[in-house]
Structure 1
Amino acid sequence: MTINNQIFDFRMPGNVKIGANSFNTIHSDIEQFQPKNILLISDKGLQEAGVVEKIVHDLSRHNIPIQTFTDISGEPYFETLNLAIQFIKDNQSDLVIGIGGGSALDVAKAAACLANKEEDNITEILLGHSTPLSKGISCILLPTTSGTGSEVTMNAIFGDTSNGVKRGIVSPFYLPDVAIIDPILTLSCPAKVSAASGVDAFTHAIESYIAKKATPLTKLYAREAMVKFPANITKAVFNGSDLKAREEMCWVSFLAGVSLANAGVGAVHALAYPLGGKYHVPHGVANALLLPYVFKVIGKTCMEEMVHIANYLQLGDYTDNPHEALGKVVEYLFNLLKELGLPKTLKELNVNENDLEPMANEASKVIRLLENTPYELNKKEIHQIYINSFFGNE
């Protein structure tokens, strides 16, 4: 795509399948890839729930050795990724199947990409000094939550224990070969996870919509995600067996994820990283909490987009009163936290007030995201946003 002599890439997995029972199409994908050894990467929660065992049994019809890696609980760290890469090498796996939430999918796609790379090269990539120049082995991703969009994005997020922060690694080679988005796999997702992951998807949509790198094409995806979100999020959270609502939230996650992958996100994610790194706050929870506090500040520089967003969320037509649109959108975001039972203040997350300034310092270093925000936040303003979100200053 070319606009005003600027060229924009637009990327997504080579094959995306969405819909109830789409999981069953994985068998034809396996036949196409003809792997000799399959590695199934998931998390401890799905293992304990018997989901991993059920999938292994279902895939056993192919008579291909299947190993499982489920050493993932909560947000993943680079150490976890390195263990998964070594596991692939030890078992000579040539196909990774990732199933789970964003944590499992991030480990799966990054491990598949970095498999067969030299150890020194992997170290440089994880330090952010370089990016992969090729894909390692084939990868299929199946999300069990609707939110992270990891199955269609070019980035993966990991905890950096040496610096106490979360960092993203980005490359088109992290995209899976196939993404299978089956709403039936999300039916057992707990209400709290459904709420946090759902607002995480909405955060991707709204941030990428106003991003500096947004294009008409990415805005189409973000817009559709925002239109579908209000009518389905509460149904998916409070009536998890509502397959129609679950399927619509799968679309929200997918659409927002594609927009995120190509337009990027901004300040909300930048401020969320220190919360995840230091306090291990789940990514979706951190984004949801910070969203209204951040947009109250940065929304002032994109009033036209705020009018659009208010319309997409069915908050009213503010074409003739654009300054009112921002207030209505921020009000909606605060009400959303209350409606879904998500935390509204950092106090509720047991964040220490003395850590707010150091966190602001860390967040100010996430240049890649801050530069994609249509408002130039400085360290002092970031600190004030943390203060407001600590005390609940709406």
Structure 2
Amino acid sequence: MEQIDLKKIRSLIKESSNTLVFTNRNSFYTNEFDKLLVDSPDPDKNKITFYNDFEINPKIEDISKALCHLDQDNHDLIVGIGGGTPLDFAKAFCYFKEFDKKEVNDLMELVKKPVEITKKTSLALIPTTCGSGSEATEFSVIYYQKKKFSLSVSSLLPDYYLLDGVFIESLPRKILAFTALDSITHATESFWSKNATQKSKEIAIKSLRLSHENLEKAFIHNDKQALNNLLEASNLAGQAINITKTTAVHALSYYLTTYYSIPHGQAVGNLLPYLIEINSNNKDYNEMFSAFDCNTASEYKTKIILLLKNLNIYLDLEKIIDNVEELVDSVNIERLANNPIDLNREQLLSLFTHHHKG
């Protein structure tokens, strides 16, 4: 996995005879791709195909359709550019295309029992948001029958990734806020995960410091260096969760996105305060609190809530969620197992009966 710059990605595309680009439907258009990435493309030598026929939270059916539609094209470079969805989709497509399988049931078998492969096609990922960290992980989020699954195999790691603030300069403020909160949540959950190592903790702390020091500068002033720093923070948080995986916050979040259409970053950001104090009981998280200029779990929770309000993305979840029992019963068991303390159903229910506002 190699970090590259604009010059290198332009060179890769120019050297490729057939590039396939996965991107968002509404956020990154062909002319922007040409302007930013392609150095005098020759349509006779450098075929570039764009594909965006998938939902924000991609279903396995979307991947099946792409495999059928794009099957006969012999691509030598795949590029994912956008937020977490097109990056995850590019990783999944690059993986699944190595198998002679296109049917949904066959693909789900590979999700549940992944097989390591050697990719035959180079993969480059370019984030245009500052939250998912997908370019640094071996995970790809896939939905099937309204349930979230994580395809997890080292073959999903890209060959190249590019971090450049130019790609998020025009990002709508709300998207910047949503994705930055996803990054902060990734770093927090990685730090306290049962699977945390000294290395993952150091990476998570660096990510949190960068987010804390740069988010408001980026949000209010669109400061170029601050935007670059947020991209780095997101990438570091991705590296951290690639070691540890996420915990209870993410385990609860998928229900909010699936049934209430709350964007993922906003969902995890607003769930984070509910878990901070209970996960900090009898734990030494001083280093994590310090990264956000705090001394206690209570202060950290209050700062996160204040940040959500300052960014205009705060939600009173207790007023929004109609059925807390349904939320708790939907929890992702795999992610919940990584939580620093074991939480039973009654404890999860109690989180939403004690008002947490700071």
Q: Which residue of 2 aligns with 1:204?
A: 186
- Deviating more after overlay: 177-186 vs 337-346: 337-346
Q: Is 2:212–2:291's contact at 8 Å kept on the other side of the alignment?
A: no
Q: Is 1:85–1:112's contact at 8 Å kept on the other side of the alignment?
A: no
Q: Deviations over 1:181-226 (max 9, x none)?
A: 1111111111000011001101111110111111111111111111
Q: Is 2:10–2:39's contact at 8 Å kept on the other side of the alignment?
A: no
Say if 1:121 and 1:83 are closer, same or farther in 2 by CA, change over 3 A.
Answer: closer
The one-letter code matched in structure 2 to 1:250 is L
Q: Is 2:10–2:38's contact at 8 Å kept on the other side of the alignment?
A: no
SS of match in other structure, 2:307: helix
Question: How far 1:392 sits from its partner (Å)?
Answer: 5.7
Q: Which residue of 2 aligns with 1:334?
A: 305
Q: Does 1:362 align with 2:330?
A: yes
| Identical-pair percentage | 26
Say if 1:183 and 1:112 are closer, same or farther in 2 by CA, change over 3 A.
Answer: same
Distance in 1 (CA, whole Å) between partners of 2:3 and 2:248 is 29
SS of match in other structure, 2:71: helix
Q: Which residue of 2 aligns with 1:109?
A: 91
From 107, 128, 145, the equivalent of 1:144 is 128
Give TM-score, length-normalised by structure 1: 0.83
Q: Does 1:177 align with 2:166?
A: no
Distance in 2 (CA, whole Å) between partners of 1:23 and 1:65 is 19
Distance in 2 (CA, whole Å) between partners of 1:123 and 1:58 is 41
Question: How far 1:300 sits from its partner (Å)?
Answer: 1.3
From 192, 206, 220, the equivalent of 2:174 is 192
Q: Is 2:280–2:297's contact at 8 Å kept on the other side of the alignment?
A: yes
What are the within-5 Å matches in structure 2 for residues 210-229 of structure 1?
Answer: 210-229=192-211
Q: How many residues align?
A: 355
What are the within-5 Å matches in structure 2 for residues 238-277 of structure 1?
Answer: 238-240=220-222, 242-277=223-258
The one-letter code matched in structure 2 to 1:273 is Y
The one-letter code matched in structure 1 to 2:256 is L
Q: Is 1:46–1:100's contact at 8 Å kept on the other side of the alignment?
A: yes
From 12, 15, 25, the equivalent of 2:2 is 15
Distance in 1 (CA, whole Å) between partners of 2:261 and 2:151 is 18
Distance in 2 (CA, whole Å) between partners of 1:227 and 1:331 is 17
Question: How far 1:138 sits from its partner (Å)?
Answer: 1.7
Say if 1:290 and 1:59 are closer, same or farther in 2 by CA, change over 3 A.
Answer: farther
The one-letter code matched in structure 2 to 1:27 is R
Question: How far 1:100 sits from its partner (Å)?
Answer: 0.4
From 290, 297, 316, the equivalent of 1:345 is 316
SS of match in other structure, 1:98: strand
After superposition, the CA RMSD in angstroms is 2.3
Distance in 1 (CA, whole Å) between partners of 2:37 and 2:84 is 20
The one-letter code matched in structure 2 to 1:379 is R
Q: Which residue of 2 aligns with 1:6?
A: none
Distance in 2 (CA, whole Å) between partners of 1:50 and 1:381 is 51
Say if 1:353 and 1:212 are closer, same or farther in 2 by CA, change over 3 A.
Answer: same
Structure 1 residue runs of 5 or longer lacking an equivalent are 1-13, 317-324
The one-letter code matched in structure 2 to 1:235 is K
Q: Does 1:100 align with 2:82?
A: yes
Q: Is 1:135–1:174's contact at 8 Å kept on the other side of the alignment?
A: no
Question: How far 1:124 sits from its partner (Å)?
Answer: 4.6
Structure 2 residue runs of 5 or longer lacking an equivalent are none
SS of match in other structure, 1:202: helix
Distance in 2 (CA, whole Å) between partners of 1:111 and 1:125 is 11
The one-letter code matched in structure 1 to 2:180 is G
Give TM-score, length-normalised by structure 2: 0.91
Q: Which residue of 1 aligns with 2:263?
A: 282
Q: Is 1:211–1:263's contact at 8 Å kept on the other side of the alignment?
A: yes
Question: How far 1:393 sits from its partner (Å)?
Answer: 5.4
Q: Which residue of 2 aligns with 1:315?
A: 294
Say if 1:68 and 1:267 are closer, same or farther in 2 by CA, change over 3 A.
Answer: same
Question: How far 1:159 sits from its partner (Å)?
Answer: 2.5
- Deviating more after overlay: 276-285 vs 102-111: 276-285
Distance in 1 (CA, whole Å) between partners of 2:40 and 2:238 is 28
Distance in 2 (CA, whole Å) between partners of 1:52 and 1:44 is 13
Distance in 1 (CA, whole Å) between partners of 2:188 and 2:93 is 29
Distance in 2 (CA, whole Å) between partners of 1:261 and 1:122 is 26
